[in-house]
């Protein structure tokens, strides 16, 4: 099982497919690199070296109770990139992973990262405040923490419904896809899943977005019930210098179905430019 070891001894598992220009993909909460398996295959089939890791405390990486903050997540990603000596690198992040790749690129990516892609990503900041009135109230995140702590198995089954838009008329998401969300969520340690709620909801990426000096594709579904587009992509695009915004009508938070097909086409076009 391929892993790298961080400075504090945490083992980070990763998948590595194909050959060519490297693309590293970062998953959302509470998932793991398996969330990107379709994208990994498509990218490898198109001549890229496609890599995805399990964030610390998630998937097959060490179930550590330490380091659940965005600076450490970005440093872990930097350790992976440096261990594999990746250059001319594109980074892709979904949801929490979108924040991770933005912080990584802004603070560690000089000389390595040439393109950034986010999808349904949390930047600039999710939490509602006077400066961010379109954000999500703290009570919603308190509810997530309570659900994870009380019965995370049932909570993940319930969360899969809005995650994939299964509560919308005409939804075609399968039970199998919802079950796989539950499966991946249950691989995350309880401490990691609980602590990461604060990380994805309260971390402010404003200065990271401003600091990016490489092209960024910001993708978002306009029916995202988990990371509403008004406080995310519509604000993020105004903070970056070299940004392209792609909005997918009716698309949910989870990247599935027609949304996945359109998103992948846009990513391949963006990477080829």
CB atoms within 10 A of CB 246: 17
Under 8 Å between Cβ of 199 and 211: no
The torsion defined by the Cα of 216, 194, 30 and 102, in degrees rounded to 10, comes to: 10
Under 8 Å between Cβ of 104 and 200: no
Q: How far apart are CA 48 and CA 33, in angstroms?
A: 17
Q: Which residues belong to the active site?
A: 95, 224, 253
| Cβ neighbourhood burial of 50 (10 Å; 0-12, 13-18, 19+) | buried
Under 8 Å between Cβ of 3 and 11: yes
Instruction: Cite the DSSP H helix spans in 164-256.
Output: 175-187, 190-202, 206-211, 233-236
CB atoms within 10 A of CB 137: 11
Under 8 Å between Cβ of 33 and 99: no
DSSP category for residue 253: S
Under 8 Å between Cβ of 3 and 10: no
DSSP-assigned letters across all residues of 235-259:
HHTTT-SSEEEEEETT--SS--HHH
Q: How far apart are CA 136 and CA 57, in angstroms?
A: 25
Query: Closest Cα to residue 181, out of 197, 162, 201, 196?
Result: 162
């Amino acid at each position: 099982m391929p892993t790298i070891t961080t400075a504090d001894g945490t083992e980070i598992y990763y998948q590595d497919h194909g050959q060519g220009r490297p693309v590293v993909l970062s998953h959302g909460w509470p998932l793991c690199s398996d969330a990107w398996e379709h994208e990994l295959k498509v990218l490898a089939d198109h001549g890229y070296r496609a890599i995805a890791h399990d964030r610390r405390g998630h998937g097959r990486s060490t179930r550590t109770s330490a380091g659940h903050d965005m600076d450490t997540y970005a440093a872990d990603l930097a350790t992976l990139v440096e261990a594999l000596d990746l250059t001319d690198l594109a980074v892709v992040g979904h949801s929490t992973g979108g924040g991770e790749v933005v912080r990584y690129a802004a603070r560690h990516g000089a000389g390595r990262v040439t393109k950034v892609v986010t999808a349904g990503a949390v930047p600039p900041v999710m939490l509602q405040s006077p400066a961010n009135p379109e954000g999500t109230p703290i009570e919603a995140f308190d509810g997530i923490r309570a659900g994870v702590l009380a019965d995370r198995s049932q909570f993940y089954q319930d969360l899969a419904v809005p995650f994939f838009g299964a509560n919308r008329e005409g939804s075609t998401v399968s039970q199998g896809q919802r079950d796989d969300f539950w499966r991946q969520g249950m691989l995350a340690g309880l401490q990691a899943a609980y602590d990461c709620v604060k990380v994805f909801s309260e971390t402010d990426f404003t200065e990271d977005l401003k600091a990016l000096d490489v092209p960024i594709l910001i993708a978002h579904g306009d029916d995202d019930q988990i990371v509403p587009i008004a406080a995310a992509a519509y604000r993020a695009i105004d903070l970056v210098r070299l940004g392209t915004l792609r909005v997918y009508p009716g698309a949910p938070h989870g990247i599935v179905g027609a949304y996945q097909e359109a998103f992948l086409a846009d990513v391949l076009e963006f990477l080829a430019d």
